[in-house]
Structure 1
Amino acid sequence: MKTIQITAPNLEETFNQLQNIFAAEYSVDFKEHTLKFDSDLGYGTIKGMKLKGAISFIQFNVTFATDVKLVFTTPKQTLVNFAYCSEGKIEHSFNNRENRTELETFQTGILSNINEETNCLYFSRELTTTASIIGVNTASDTNDINMINEQLRQLFITDRTEDLAYVSSYNLKIAEKIKQLKAIKQEGVVRTLLVEGLVHVILALEIEQHSIDKVKRNQNTGSLTSKEMSAVKDLSEYINNFPETNLTVTELAHKIGLTPSKLQEGFKLMHSRTVNDYIRDVRVTKSEELIKTTDMNISQILYTLGFSSRSYFSKIFKEKYNCSPSQYKAQNKLAATA
């Protein structure tokens, strides 16, 4: 196993150390640090950004040729780290302990040093891993401290006598936000604002998942396996790419090897709605895009997206956009010629 010690006091120095270790290409775009490497150690990208509210964000998209352990020096009773694995797996321990906490795909973990001064992250060789870590500094002497930081300190640090390593249930909503992060094409300040907004959403979802787990701790939640969750995610992408699909729930479930009940469970977890409601929402959203970006008339859009009833389409479009499709098309046409 390759052990890499990171003793940097801040994000910038962390990336400077990683650049030297990985012999990586290093760039900074406004506030975002990016390392790209392809060496005997492996290949991949590491990104990081310092955000408002004493928050830092690091994202790994890496494949190592050997087992790798990253050891970060961390002040006691200061940081609350929210880790999420959207591909592969990562493991964590405090101060080189033998006992490790494993995060599988689609799981989030909450980590806080109470007694120890190091966080160790373990990456398995030849396993492509995408993982993100949001660190919140709750130190009372931090200038950027706010009410949220103090609440996190009360929740995850104050009155604790042991280091915290909590692993949540599976959460696909966070995976969708990570995907949106990776899809951002803008640069400079616009990119920074978009990343910052999504990171705050991810942080909120991770805290929410912890609260949900506390309520359901003694209940049988019937959670899907990571493989089944991944299948639901793939089907969601299929529906987004082919919203005109007229397959039934049973046929869609068979397509990915799940039962209809498990498919519905996955969609409620990931999208907070049933499969049919999700298809309907995707179609309406796509129809709005087509109205704005094409010369297709309403009937052509209906046919393209698989709607069979114009009156039904008008009804659900109005529910979402507060006007009929024809009115929306007329307004956009007027705006384009103004």
Structure 2
Amino acid sequence: MKHIDIKANSPEVFLEQLQQIIGGEIKERWSEFILTINNKNAIGNIKFIPFDWGVNLLDFNIKFHKDIKLHIETHEAFNPIRFIYLSKGSLKHKFGIQNKIAKIGQFESLIFTNKNGGSSDIIFPKNENLSINIVQIIRKKFLKKRTTNVATLNSKLYEIFVDSDHENRFSSYGTLNLKMADLIDSIQNINAKGMLKILKIEARVYEILSMHIQQHNKILSRKKTPLGINKTTLKTIRNIGNEILKYPSREYNLHELSLNSGITQAKLQKGFKFLYNRTVTEYIRHIRLENARDMLKSTDLNISQIVYSIGFSSRSYFSKVFKEKYNITPNQFKKKLKTITA
């Protein structure tokens, strides 16, 4: 196992110290710092993006060739709250003073911070493709942001956010969360450059932070995955949801989805409600309506053409559900767009 000691007084130094031990080259473009590695230690990259008010993002897309133990010592100037999510792979975490090691797997999360003088270990396994999103909050800077209202947080997170002198350690291990994977994936698909790209990423980072907080609230309220549905089943249901998102015009029905996936209709419904807050039918209709609205905005197709291209078989039914969802008929929506662009 390769040991890496980190004694950073800033997130920038954190990345530089990683480079000193595992090698690679750091390049900066549009305030995005990328450490690219292809050597005996690892292959892949680690991205670092700083934002205002003490918020920054570390993004690991890497495979280590050796087991890596990252030993992080706290620093008075840099001891953030870390919000970690794994889209791929696994890691282990422990506080330096404790023997207990917690394993975080794919689609799971971890929130932790340490007290002054403490240390934490993050252990990355060898030969495992890792995709890890880490949002870091430097509290003294973040609390100065005018729109920051930590008083609305639950009591545990509130105590950690206002602990700007780092007097306490804290950890929370999240359960399975597939929604966050989709949100993090969307960062990779941002089609923009320069400042616009950074602004769009920053918006996603705040959404990710919000989702971590919601997840922690669910843990405190002991909201668990639906009875009888395991992680593998939820992954399969997420794949079905992504297929519907990609191909909304296909004919879908609950019976065939159940038959093809090997998941009972009852579990499919439970899984969709858990992941998307909608039944299977509601989810399909939602995706089709979102596509229809985008097509009304971005194409010259008439309403009938759009209706049949996204999988609806009746224009009158489409108009009815469109108005129920957006409080405006498709015709009114299209006329409104023409007025705006005129």
TM-score (norm 2): 0.86
Deviations 1:171-198 (A, max 9, x none): 1221121011121121221122111111
Q: Secondary structure at the match of 1:170?
A: coil
Could you tell me which residue of structure 2 aligns to residue 117 of structure 1?
118
* Structure 1 residue 279: Cα displacement: 0.7
Partner in structure 2 of residue 183 of structure 1: 189
Shift of residue 167 of structure 1? 1.1
Q: How far did residue 290 of structure 1 move?
A: 2.2
Q: For residue 140 of structure 1, report the CA deviation from its aligned partner.
A: 8.8
Question: Partner of 2:44 in structure 1?
Answer: 44
Distance 1:65 1:96, change over 3 A: farther
Partner Cα separation in structure 2 for residue 209 and residue 220 of structure 1:
12
Please tell me whether the aligned partners of residues 83 and 109 of structure 2 are also in contact (alpha carbons under 8 angstroms): yes
Q: Distance in 2 between matches of 1:161 and 1:200?
A: 25
How far did residue 243 of structure 1 move?
A: 0.6
How many angstroms apart in 2 are the aligned matches of 1:141 and 1:212? 24
- Change beyond 3 A, Cα 1:54–1:147: farther
Q: Give the whole-Å Cα distance in 1 for the aligned partners of 2:122 and 2:228.
A: 26
Q: Unaligned 5+ residue runs, structure 1?
A: none
Taking the aligned partners of 2:303 and 2:279, their CA distance within structure 1 comes to 26
Kindly indicate whether the alpha-carbon contact (under 8 Å) linking 2:150 and 2:161 is maintained by their aligned counterparts in 1. Answer: no
Amino acid at match of 2:264: T
SS at match of 2:92: strand
Distance 1:289 1:197 in 2: 21
| In structure 2, C-alpha distance between the alignment counterparts of 1:149 and 1:37, rounded to whole Å | 42
| Cα distance change of structure 1 residues 243 and 265 upon mapping to structure 2, 3 Å threshold | same
Shift of 1:307: 0.6
Shift of 1:156: 7.0
User: Partners in 1 of 2:40 and 2:225 — Cα distance?
Assistant: 46
Contact 1:60–1:131 under 8 Å retained in 2: yes
Aligned-residue offset at 1:97:
4.9
What is the SS of the residue equivalent to 1:84? strand
2:275 counterpart of 1:270: yes
Compared CA separation, residues 225 and 25, structure 1 to 2 (3 A): farther
Partner of 1:241 in structure 2? 246
Amino acid at match of 2:196: V
Contact 1:169 1:223 in 2 (8 A): no
CA distance in 2, matches of 1:184, 1:20: 30
**What is the correspondence of 1:19-30 to structure 2 with a 5 Å cutoff?**
19-30=19-30
Once the 2 structures are TM-superposed, how far is the Cα of residue 107 of structure 1 from its aligned partner? 1.3
CA drift of 1:278 comes to 1.0
CA offset at residue 335 of structure 1?
A: 5.2
Count matched residues: 335
Distance, in Å, in 1 between the alignment partners of 2:172 and 2:13 is 28
Aligned to 2:57: 57
User: Aligned residue for 1:136?
Assistant: 137
- Equivalent in the alignment of 1:199: 205
The farther-off stretch of 99-108 and 135-144 is 135-144
Q: Shift of residue 144 of structure 1?
A: 5.8
Q: Which of 284, 292, 297 lines up with 2:289 in the alignment?
A: 284
* Root-mean-square deviation (Å): 3.0
Shift of 1:157: 8.0
C-alpha displacement of 1:162: 7.4
* 8 A Cα contact 2:53 2:142, kept in partner: no
User: Percent identity among equivalent residues?
Assistant: 30
Correspondence 1:212 to 2:218: yes
Partner of 1:31: 31
Specify the SS of the correspondent of 2:262: coil
2-structure distance, mates of 1:269, 1:114: 36
**Using the alignment, how far apart are the partners of 2:79 and 2:36 within structure 1?**
30
Please state whether the residue corresponding to 2:242 is helix, strand or coil: helix
1:256 paired to 2:261: yes
Q: TM-score, normalised by structure 1?
A: 0.87
Q: What's 1:127 paired with?
A: 128
Contact (CA 8 Å) 2:84, 2:133: kept in 1 or not?
yes
Partner residue in 1 for 2:11 = 11
| 1:302 to 2:272 alignment | no
Structure 2 unaligned runs (5+)? none
Offset at 1:18? 2.5
